[in-house]
Amino acid sequence: MEQWICPNCQGVWKHQSLVFRFCPKCGVKLVQSCPFCYQDLPTLSPECPHCKIRLQICPRCFRLFPLRENLCPFCSQSLRALRTSFTCIRGNYANTFSASLAFLDLLPQRTPLPWERTFSPPLSMGVLVQGSLFFVSGSGRLQLHSWHFPLNQEFREDLGHWVETNADTLRLWGDQNLLWVWDGDNRWVSLVDISHLPPKPISKEPFRLPNEIKVVGAAFNWLWWERGNQLEALEAERLEEMKPHLTIRLTAPLTRFPVDRFSEAAFVVTKDAVFFADQQGNILRWHREKQKAEVLRKDAPLRLLPIALNWQGLTEVVWVVDDYLLRFVEEGWQEVPLMVRPIGSQPVAMGEGLWLPMENGQRWVLCDNKGFVMAECRLPLQTKTIYAFSAEALWLLQEDRDVVRLFRCDQKCNTQERGVWDLRERPFVFGHQYNSSVLLFILLRGSGNVWAKLGDSQSVG
């Protein structure tokens, strides 16, 4: 018996056949037409079962729209994903534009069997977007792999010939309905349309990037890079021309925050703005609607990667500066003294708390929005955090001489080891929480193994 959930009142209705199109409780449509092929489908459908287009929803009128739209033309509301997307740099919060909670989080999750594949190395980093895992394999001639877990389908697409380029040098970035792929030497870039299943590369061959640039990331369908003392942005539609649409003068190079052993980030993205910081302590914001860049602060020597999070129902950007937090909200800046002095890579949000690294990640503390310590996690001596993410607990990848260990630390300060790998495997770990379960992906680039598991947090590892 199929289960239908109303997007408005969350009423659950079970039936063997569709005998009503509206919620019996509140009257909202339970079924409507696909905006692309016009076939009927349930309102809470993350993709159309007929034409395979990916969908998002208006939170006010509950109409469905393809991913390329930003605002509902009827309500002027920002559209929301029907399936949670993930940040592209393996769980850090540099790209939170599409990583907010989605309507589909209300639905019971179908648990797939543990998934494992072996590919010929080298493999790239991975991206989790719209329920799909994306990564690239090969050397020279590169292949894009995508596994869509809800439909249990795997796709492969040719990315063309990348001269003197291996997959393990690539960076992948999910940007709403697009997937950006570029190499670490800033020579080549490809763009993939992920609004449909299967995904489709925009071009059969990669585009050549301009000389003397350093790619920062992608947001709002623009590719951002540094060139000299300028920050430039290129529209996806003008990728072939390679002519920047936007130029921002910089007084100093952007600050690059380490995310892990392989990646770094230079900005944080919210639903309507991109925030940057330079090496002189200036914090800049580019606003999408105003199409304007401005300096917000000039005295902020930042310690950790900035993070966008939700505290007490308000979305705000938090910056860690020495021994205090800078919270940027609509009213302006708020300075929150910390009881600790963070040292490490990136902070990690969990609920309405913020995990901060100490001693390069040998110790972590959980702070509330007033700076008070609520919990503390201690890791083995001589270890160093190389990657961290949160679900119902804090998950930490610790480098320990020639091995890498995975630990789980809960709010009661209980620490458990969940896995160990040879450092040469260079493991990638992804994580996110679906209801009471944790979805973990581990990509072992050295051996070419990709492993995934969805299960109760106590059994994963």
The kind and range of the H/E element at 153 are strand 153-166
Percent of the chain whose pLDDT exceeds 90: 31
Share of the chain above pLDDT 70, in %: 85
Whether residue 111 is predicted with pLDDT greater than 60 in this model: the reply is: no
Task: Give the pLDDT band (50/70/90) at residue 434.
Answer: low
DSSP structure string for 379-392: PPTT-EEEEEEESS
Going by pLDDT thresholds of 50, 70 and 90, the confidence category of residue 161 is: very high
**Per-residue pLDDT tens digits for 207-260:** 999 999 999 888 888 999 999 999 999 999 999 999 998 999 999 999 988 776
pLDDT of residue 99 exceeding 70, the answer is no
Identify whether the C-beta of residue 85 lies closer than 8 Å to the C-beta of residue 99. yes
**348/344 Cα distance (integer angstroms):** 11
Return the closest-CA partner of residue 262 out of 367, 125, 119, 405.
125
Determine the pLDDT at residue 8: 86
8 A C-beta contact, residue 395 and residue 389: yes
pLDDT (average), residues 45-54: 88
Residue 307's pLDDT band, with cuts at 50, 70 and 90, is confident
